[in-house]
Structure 1
Amino acid sequence: MALIRRATKDDFPQIISLLKSFPDDPEIPDINWDDAQTVLPALLSEEHGLILVSEDNGVLAGLVTMSFPIVLRFGGEYALIEDFIVDERFRGRGIGSPLLKSAFEEARARGCRELQVNGASEIGKPVYIKNGLHEAGQHLKIFLR
């Protein structure tokens, strides 16, 4: 059974590997992985974001990265899922839904009223919808309170 937890600095190599395994998005220019590694500590600080990982016997089976923009209409932060990846070897094994539900709980605990996903992939979209998100224009979102 996989353990869901907050990422640590020791997870960086596996996080980068998971991110690199995701299919290229033609709308995103080439990613500079050195730059990506400089952003990871900011996400771990939890001030600007959060990384949750699903670990199975020492291997990262999946991850969710979230950022927390501040918006006036909500009177504070909302949660934005930036990355949701389950390693291909672990798909269909009950990793994705618990990882998303943990992300929802983290966002609620932080006081976020809403969680959004922008640009869901065709692989991830059914998992999002199965877990209560709905389409809202180009966005998928779930109201947290």
Structure 2
Amino acid sequence: MPYRIRMARAGDLDALLALMEKYYDYDRHDFDRKKARNAMRRLLENRRLGSVLLALDARSNNNGKPIGYLVLAFGYSLEFGGRDAFIDEFFIMEEYRGKGIGKAVLEHAQKVAKKQRVNALHLEVTKHNSAVIGFYRRAGFVDHDRYLMTRRT
């Protein structure tokens, strides 16, 4: 299947929001369009915060139909010796799964992270999603037997 992966741009905001809404529905998160728009816009405008990769079905039209995205959010970790990144969101539309696109997007993200001098990539996955857990394990991610805990400020 012909597809391409590229860095998302400000002009991709509406397409990214449409994908986010599908992802949030799939993963059972509340979706607040205004909040999502503001957060994604800030990320697209400031590359120091992170990077957004956009996967496109190259068969559909000249620019390609958006079929998935991955968000790398940059941070810093003493444990991992410096700059790290969190794969904050990663979604491929259901009809495009199982075709190697997700693997290619993840590999592209790893190259972006390396270029940005990121020492470690982290991600979060729901415990009930065994297929995705297996996908990440095959890609080299390991479980540190820790809990991800969050407190909103």
- CA gap of 1:72–1:132, structure 2 versus 1, over 3 A, is closer
Matched ranges for 1:1-145 at <5 A: 1-22=2-23, 23-25=26-28, 30-44=30-44, 45-57=46-58, 58-120=64-126, 122=129, 123-138=131-146
For residues 76 and 133 of structure 1, what CA distance do their matches in structure 2 show? Answer: 18
Identical residues among aligned pairs (%): 26
- Number of residue pairs the alignment of both structures matches: 136
Paired residues of 1:61 and 1:95 also in contact (CA < 8 A): no
Contact 1:3 1:55 in 2 (8 A): yes
Give the TM-score normalised by the residue count of structure 1. 0.83
| Residue in structure 2 matched with residue 142 of structure 1 by the alignment | none
Q: Which has the higher strand share?
A: 1
The one-letter code of the counterpart of 1:50 is S
- Preserved CA contact (<8 Å) 2:19 2:68: yes
Q: State the 1:75 CA deviation.
A: 4.2
Deviation at 1:138, TM superposition (A): 4.1
Please name the residue that 2:150 is paired with.
Answer: none
Shift of the alpha carbon at 1:42?
2.5
Contact 1:42 1:49 in 2 (8 A): no
Give the C-alpha shift of residue 17 in structure 1. Answer: 1.2
Secondary structure of the corresponding residue to residue 36 of structure 2: helix
Is residue 125–residue 132 contact of structure 2 (8 Å, CA) maintained in 1?
Answer: no
Pair member with larger Rg: 2
Moved more, 70-79 or 108-117: 70-79
**64-73 or 107-116, larger mean C-alpha shift:** 64-73
Using the TM superposition, give the Cα deviation of residue 71 of structure 1 relative to its aligned residue in structure 2, in angstroms.
2.4
Q: What's 2:61 paired with?
A: none
CA contact (8 A) 1:49 1:66 kept: yes
Cα displacement (A) at 1:76: 2.6
